Amino acid sequence: MEFFERFAIPHPSPLIYASMVAIGLTLIAIVIGITYFNKWGYLWREWLTTVDHKRIGIMYMISALLMLFRGGADAVMMRLQTAVPDNAFLDAQHYNEVFTTHGVVMIFFMAMAFVIGLMNFVVPLQIGARDVAFPRLNAISFWLYFAGAMLFNISFVIGGSPDAGWTNYFPLAGTDFSESVGVNYYMWSLQISGIGTLMTGINFIVTILKMRAPGMKLMKMPMFTWSALITNVIIVFAFPVLTIALLMGTFDRQFGTHFFASTNGGMDMLWANLFWVWGHPEVYILILPAFGIYSEIIATFSQRNLYGYKSMVGSMVIISFLSFLVWVHHFFTMGHGALVNGIFSITTMAIAVPTGIKIFNWLLTMWKGKIRFTVPMLYSLGFIPLFTIGGVTGVMLAIASADYQYHNTMFLVAHFHNVIIPGVVFAMLAGLTYWWPKMFGFMLNERIGKWGFWFLSIGFVFAFFPMYITGLDGQARRMYTYSEATGFGPLNMLSFFGAGLMAIAFALIVYNVYYSFRHSPRNVGMDPWNARSLEWATQNPVPEYNFAVTPVVNSSEAFWDSKKNGHQLFKDKITKIHMPNNSGMPIILAGFFFIFGFSFVFSIWIGVIVSALGILGTMAYRSFENDHGRYISEEEIKETEKEYGGAK
Amino acid sequence: MKIDHSQPLEYGTHQNQMNILGFWIFLGAEIMLFGTLFASYFTLENGVGNGPSGAEIFEITPVLMETIILLTSSFTIGLATHAMRINNKKATLAFLAITLVLGLSFLSVEVYEFIHYYHVGATLQTSGFTAILLTTLGTHGAHVTFGLFWGFFILLQIKKRGFTPETTNKSFIFSLYWHFLDVVWIFIFSFIYLKGMM
């Protein structure tokens, strides 16, 4: 029994027991459902072992949506707890766990996954490629992410959740102040999914640099592909920093080292520095692809080419460079002195310049355009004013001296949600709606989608704008409650109301998927949005080989040119196409990683050793494997194309 | 698969070119990884607490041995690549084997070094300085260990399959990795050992 005691929840409550039962029942239901419909074989062959970038992208997005609901439930619990003064719905420890998991889930397992999912689906299509450069590595990336996400999510029913905030500052995150295994979970789930993300970064840089269609020079790439390229460069340079920080954190917690301790020569501020050297670029890893999505959507629905292409690219390059030079602004109050704070204050403000250029470019794209108010466009139009407000409060926070007032208040919480929700979440929903017909061959319902947009936007304003005021009045973030005398009550109630509207919005978005799946017409053709870039030059949904014939490109809007200016995209004849084989190796490898992480969290060394051997053995197997892929024959392609309505 | 014979075989296919570019980008990430370790080392270097400082525990003899062994192995892996380019399988295998033996010797000396640190009271738990010292050295050592297995697998594959676009590509990439570990070691030698002993 002693062995099993370590898995007990240190701080149980009826809510957690209810979740355990719910998780158990859901798992049983899924297993029974798949068995009943006899779908195990289909699932294994078509999805779990796939190396197709489109399916991997869709799996990323499904996982991201699941995580959105997990993180969203956390968010609603927080707003509920703080809706009235002196509330006793959650106690301090639970509140700590809830805001920690909310942050981690939303950033790592929702936003990152959504961004990478969209990149997976769209980038190879936009550059006219058959797949990514390393399809199997891509599957490994996904499954490592998935293993990390699952590892993190079981924490609250086995052993306890992390409770030191998503920033996980030491010494708070050390064993002295965070005794449960929660923070170990944090370390290993992020480590495992982080390795996957790094591999994605390498994969996409090579894909974009080496696999573009003939004629597509770098400056003729669609803007989303540009944003993906720059994002992946940031990933490659930022994630190794996190890897080391997490390794040191693991050592401190599990092997008794003194990296981040305040005794024996340790340096507690080192964690904060390393974390944000990775963490600030991470912010731009999320927002740059969002910028790319908005660029595509605004150009399409204004029916004009993107204004200022070169300045768009240039400003993203500058942003990516500056993103590595601003990390200290997350802890101006730690006492670096005026000079250091001053430098980081200025670099932070400098980021507003390229970002501002982009905002003006989008506005000028719409200038004199024929704007169509579709759902993706509504999100883009909502993004511009809301994100600008978030940017302006960001510049306020960048003023180091004034930051002593804002630091660790709800003002900060309002600011970063103000950039992340209209920036990233709106972009993800806009992109999902925009590319939905490419993925599934039917459109999402516009009417329900618009309801979703308005609920989300208005809910967002109600949920977060009051926090600016309570923050300036001194309400600290991460406090599980406050007294009535502070007067924060009414505004917090307003926030809770806004959170409720947002919850309704997400319910509507899910209902929209169901509704459209049932009712939307299936014959949407190749170009339902009258779009501009190359991904629309193939069938909907996209066949597994993407393009029957490799397109030849002469501008960043090749598809528009082929429609309006008589550019011939497909010059060659259909010939056999080389494709990679599916493989079970990625999911097996990730399974070993999961066991490795889980065993390490609980210091079960025998499990660590066995799973480490499993990981190395899987890699060795891969090394000796001879796999030259397969060919899709000419006839098969012709037949598929005919089914879709004929190749051009 | 189209093979471009105007290029060396390891660059001969499009996939091979992408593999090599991908690995260079991976090495970029590795530079950040070790860069972070070095930055942390410089931060914690003086955090010796009650434990020993670098000057008290570093020994020049094993460090010089490690350096010479690893630099030589970098030379022999270069020779292996050269032999591969002139299509000499026997020499390639021989030089690859020598490289791996040198790698193993390096590791043996490093293990000796770690035992020495243990005996003079510089363990992972002693202080911030010893923790970052052993983590940095250990990360490099773990890379070498991984490289030994990887290189051995490639050796077996060349032996069995001869020079194919895959095996040449793999051994070329392995040589990049091995050279990179050598570069990292030069930084470790200069900025950890020499700086510490001065």
Q: What are the pLDDT digits (tens) for A195-227?
A: 999 999 999 999 999 999 999 999 999 999 999
Q: Could you tell me if A259 and B132 are in contact, meaning their C-beta atoms sit under 8 angstroms apart?
A: yes
Partner-chain contact B124 A133, CB within 8 Å:
no
Q: Is the pLDDT of residue A526 over 90?
A: no
**Nearest-CA distance A407 → chain B (Å):** 26
Per DSSP, the three-state class of B1 is coil
Partner-chain contact B126 A264, CB within 8 Å:
yes
Residue B1 with chain A: CB contacts under 8 Å: 578, 628
CB < 8 Å from A in window 49-88 of B: 49-51
The pLDDT of residue A23:
84
Q: Where residue A17 falls among pLDDT bands split at 50, 70, 90?
A: confident
**Nearest-CA distance B82 → chain A (Å):** 23
Distance CA A358, CA A483 (A): 43
Partner-chain contact A263 B49, CB within 8 Å:
yes
Helices (H), chain B: 14-44, 54-57, 60-85, 89-119, 128-161, 165-188, 195-197
Span B119-169, pLDDT tens digits: 999 999 999 999 999 999 999 999 999 999 999 999 999 999 999 999 999
A244 Cβ under 8 Å from any chain B Cβ: yes
Distance CA A567, CA B119 (A): 75
Span A157-181, pLDDT tens digits: 898 899 999 999 998 999 999 989 9
Nearest residue to A6 via CA among A591, A601, A597: A601
Q: Could you tell me if A265 and B44 are in contact, meaning their C-beta atoms sit under 8 angstroms apart?
A: yes
Tell me the residue length of chain B: 198
Q: Does ipTM surpass 0.90 in this model?
A: yes
HSE-up of A21 (CA within 13 Å, CB side)? 5
So where are chain B's domains?
Answer: 9-48+58-197
Q: What integer is the mean pLDDT of A510-534? A: 92
CB < 8 Å from B in window 314-373 of A: none
User: Which chain B residue's Cα is nearest to A234?
Assistant: B29
User: Domain B9-48+58-197 - what CATH class?
Assistant: mainly alpha
B43 Cβ under 8 Å from any chain A Cβ: yes
B27, B32, B46, best to mutate vs chain A, most A CBs in 10 Å: B32
Span A556-574, pLDDT tens digits: 899 999 998 888 888 888 8
User: Which chain A residue's Cα is nearest to B127?
Assistant: A264
The pLDDT of residue B171:
94
Partner-chain contact A240 B43, CB within 8 Å:
no
Q: Which two tokens stand for residue A217?
A: 């020079």
DSSP state of A306: P
So where are chain A's domains?
Answer: 1-281
Instruction: Provide CB contacts within 8 A for A27, sequence distance 6+.
Output: none
Phi-psi sector, A541: left (phi>0), alpha (psi -120 to 50), beta: beta
Q: Where residue A648 falls among pLDDT bands split at 50, 70, 90?
A: very low
Distance CA A146, CA A143 (A): 5
Span A349-386, pLDDT tens digits: 999 999 999 999 999 999 999 999 999 999 999 999 99
The pLDDT of residue B198:
80
Does the CA dihedral B23-B26-B31-B33 come out positive or negative? negative
Span A1-281: which CATH code? 1.20.210.10
Q: Is the pLDDT of residue A645 over 80?
A: no
Span A576-628, pLDDT tens digits: 999 999 999 999 999 999 999 999 999 999 999 999 999 999 999 999 988 88
The pLDDT of residue A360:
96
Partner-chain contact A211 B21, CB within 8 Å:
no
Span A81-116, pLDDT tens digits: 999 999 999 999 999 999 999 999 999 999 999 999
Residue A576 with chain B: CB contacts under 8 Å: none
Q: Is the pLDDT of residue A647 over 80?
A: no
* Mean pLDDT score of chain A: 93
HSE-up of A150 (CA within 13 Å, CB side)? 16
Nearest residue to A287 via CA among A309, A325, A318, A319: A319
Q: Could you tell me if A443 and A449 are in contact, meaning their C-beta atoms sit under 8 angstroms apart?
A: no
Residue A623 with chain B: CB contacts under 8 Å: 150, 153-154, 157, 170
**Nearest-CA distance B36 → chain A (Å):** 6
Residue B149 with chain A: CB contacts under 8 Å: 616, 620
